[in-house]
Amino acid sequence: MKHFYILTMVFSILMTVSCASKYRPDLKGKAKSAERIKLVKNFATEYFAKCEKQDYSEFQGYKMDVNLKKKLDPESFKKSCEYYNSRYGTITIGELSEAKSNYSPKDFLDYFIFKARASKSDSVQAVRVNIYRDNNMLERISIPRYRAVKSKR
């Protein structure tokens, strides 16, 4: 009985690991168009450029989620910029590393991960921008804690 329990546990772990990539498939076709990539990269570049210049004015030309608009009001934006500048220094956005989507009926976000560099820290390796699938509305910008690694599939 003990062997059966161990075998069942090993089998379930292997199934979970082998199926995990199906929940975050790469974006293809219209979802990964050059237009969407340019929109997201321009936003991320402008975000960190404004931080560096200490320009906390409103972003123009982007559709944004209500919560993102709240995070980008002058006071909140100033706090996050001060945090990024003191901790990481100047952040430079590089090329697209990954474009993924969560494979779930409840989730309607795509996310783009760009390679990034910081002047003060080697810990910044990527910047992630979430965007709604249906209307190209920006949802969030963040610096993930994990290392950006290109998928081998």
Expressed in angstroms, the distance from the first to the final Cα of the chain is 38
Q: Please report whether residue 7 resides in a domain.
A: no
Q: Is 52 among the domain residues?
A: yes
| Predicted pLDDT of residue 20 | 47
Per-residue pLDDT of the chain (153 residues; tens, 9 = 90+): 777 777 677 666 655 544 444 455 555 555 567 888 899 999 999 999 999 999 999 999 999 999 999 999 999 999 999 999 999 999 999 999 888 886 666 668 888 999 999 888 888 889 999 998 888 899 999 988 765 455 554
Tell me if 18 is assigned to some domain.
no
Q: What is the pLDDT of residue 139?
A: 92
pLDDT of residue 98: 86
Cβ 129 vs Cβ 111: under 8 Å:
yes
Model pLDDT, residue 22: 47
Phi, psi (degrees; rounded to nearest 5) at 25: -75, 155
Q: How many domains does the chain have?
A: 1
Specify if 8 maps to a domain.
Answer: no
Strand order through the sheet with 109-118: 91-101, 109-118, 126-132, 138-142
Exposure b/e, 27-51, CB count within 10 A at least 16 = b: beeeebeeebbebbbebbebbbebb
CATH of the domain at 89: 3.10.450
**Inside any domain, residue 150:** no
Report field, pTM of the whole predicted structure over 0.85: no
Containing structural domain, residue 40: 25-142
Tokens 């002047």: give the residue: 119
Is residue 44 a part of any domain in this protein? yes
- Residue 1 inside a domain? The answer is no
Q: What does the pLDDT read at residue 46? A: 95
